[in-house]
């Protein structure tokens, strides 16, 4: 008996190759956005000193991209108050993780737990050799073995596909752009109007308008980048997770339990929300829920999983 060739064997190698390209695009886009943003801020607030800022902005953006690449996972883990599990702790979970990791041909990632009763999980790291899987106490308590397997298989698919690197970079870099734009936006109202309009000709006014437009648009652009890469990624991880466990009902059951749980996860925030298997911020207003939602609707994910059965 050989494994029957499934119609879509989702090769982790293909997904990984696509994500390597995405990583490069993402970093280039980030550096560009920061440099343009810095130029706009310089032109607007510094009386045309935008060009002087550019090299500085370039170095800072490269450095922060490198920092988030190499240490972003530690930042996210610390912010989520995750604690690494010792070798003897949660043996069943460790066994599930080790077994499924073998099925994907990746090393078993480090395991972390968040002591919170809301069931949820995420994976992070820059590659499979430096990956961590985080589960909440609520997930361990509320899910049975097949459901846990479903969740872990989903997370390990993110690891194997190198999604974790893209997700991590998006999280940290989008957060940085949003922060800069936010500061500039505040500065514009509080005392940034020095010299505006009076000592500039028509060209200056146009640059000013462009600068304002950029300041407003850049967080939206950053958010759109995030959206573009994340919805399809969740469906893909659901599907490859189901192929790994060969039991789509396990993950479907887990998603149902996670959706039914109304408790928000205290340690999650807007920046880290997109890392989780299901949106941990339960109280988001309906409008933002759909505009900025990084996760496909959970009912749709369950429906797709059940259709695989």
Residue 301 and residue 237 in contact, taking contact as beta carbons nearer than 8 Å:
no
Facing residues of 123 across strands? 133
The catalytic site residues sit at 155
In the list 215, 247, 268, 301, the residue contacting other proteins (rule: CB under 8 A) is 247
CB of 236 to other proteins, least distance (A): 8
Q: Is 246 in the site for other proteins (CB under 8 A)?
A: yes
CA of residue 138 relative to chain centroid, distance:
22
Alpha helices (runs of H) in the chain, residue ranges in sequence order: 12-45, 50-79, 91-104, 137-142, 145-160, 163-189, 202-245, 248-260, 286-291, 298-308
In the complex, the smallest distance separating the C-beta of residue 106 from other proteins, rounded to whole angstroms, is: 10
Measured in degrees and rounded to the nearest 5, phi and psi for residue 297 equal: -55, 135
Instruction: Give the phi and the psi of residue 134 in degrees, each rounded to 5.
Output: -120, 130
Question: Read out DSSP for 102-130?
Answer: HHHT-PPPEEEEE--SS--EEEEESSGGG
Taking CB under 8 A as the rule, does residue 145 contact other proteins? no
Task: Determine, following the binding rule CB under 8 A, whether residue 16 of this chain makes contact with other proteins.
Answer: no
Nearest CB to other proteins, comparing residues 151 and 180: 151
Q: In the window 62-101, what residues touch other proteins (CB under 8 A)?
A: 95, 98-100
Per DSSP bridges, beta strands 110-114 and 131-136 are parallel
Q: Which span sits near other proteins by CB under 8 A: 3-11, 133-141, 253-261, 285-293?
A: 3-11
CB of 8 to other proteins, least distance (A): 5
C-beta of 7 vs 201, nearer to other proteins? 7
* Of positions 79, 105, 216, 220, contacts other proteins by CB under 8 A: 105
Q: What is the closest distance, in whole angstroms, from the C-beta atom of residue 21 to other proteins in the complex?
A: 18
Q: Tell which one of 207, 212, 243, 284 touches other proteins (CB under 8 A).
A: 243
Q: How far is the CB of 104 from other proteins (least distance, A)?
A: 7
Q: Could you give the C-alpha distances from 178 to 33, 40, 137, 271, in angstroms and in order?
A: 11, 15, 31, 10
- Residues within the interface to other proteins (CB under 8 A): 1-11, 13, 95, 98-100, 102-105, 235, 239, 242-243, 245-248, 307-309
């Amino acid at each position: 008996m050989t494994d029957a060739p499934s119609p879509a064997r989702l090769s982790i190698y293909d997904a990984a190759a696509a994500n390597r390209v995405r990583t490069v695009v993402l970093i280039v886009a980030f550096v560009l956005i920061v440099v343009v943003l810095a130029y706009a801020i310089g032109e607007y607030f510094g009386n045309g000193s935008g060009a002087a800022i550019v090299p500085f902005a370039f170095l800072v953006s490269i450095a922060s991209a490198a920092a988030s690449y190499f240490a972003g996972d530690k930042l996210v883990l610390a912010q989520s108050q995750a604690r690494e599990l010792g070798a003897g702790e949660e043996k069943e979970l460790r066994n599930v993780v080790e077994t499924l990791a073998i099925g994907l041909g990746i090393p078993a990632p480090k395991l972390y737990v968040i002591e919170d009763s809301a069931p949820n999980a995420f994976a992070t790291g820059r590659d499979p050799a430096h990956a961590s899987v985080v589960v909440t106490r609520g997930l361990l308590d509320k899910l049975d073995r097949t459901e846990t397997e479903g969740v872990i298989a989903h997370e390990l698919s993110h690891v194997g596909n190198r999604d974790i690197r893209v997700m991590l970079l998006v999280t940290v870099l989008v957060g940085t752009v949003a922060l800069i734009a936010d500061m500039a936006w505040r500065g514009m109202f509080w005392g940034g109007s020095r010299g505006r309009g009076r000592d500039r000709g028509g060209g200056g006014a146009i640059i000013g308008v462009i600068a304002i437009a950029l300041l407003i648009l850049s967080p939206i652009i950053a958010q759109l980048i995030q959206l573009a890469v994340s919805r399809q990624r969740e469906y893909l991880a659901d599907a490859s997770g189901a192929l790994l466990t060969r039991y789509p009902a396990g993950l479907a059951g887990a998603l149902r339990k996670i959706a039914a749980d109304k408790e928000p996860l205290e340690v999650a925030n807007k920046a880290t929300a997109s890392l989780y298997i299901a949106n941990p911020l339960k109280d988001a207003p309906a409008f933002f829920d759909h505009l900025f939602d990084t996760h496909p609707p959970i009912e749709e994910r369950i429906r797709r999983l059940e259709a695989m059965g």
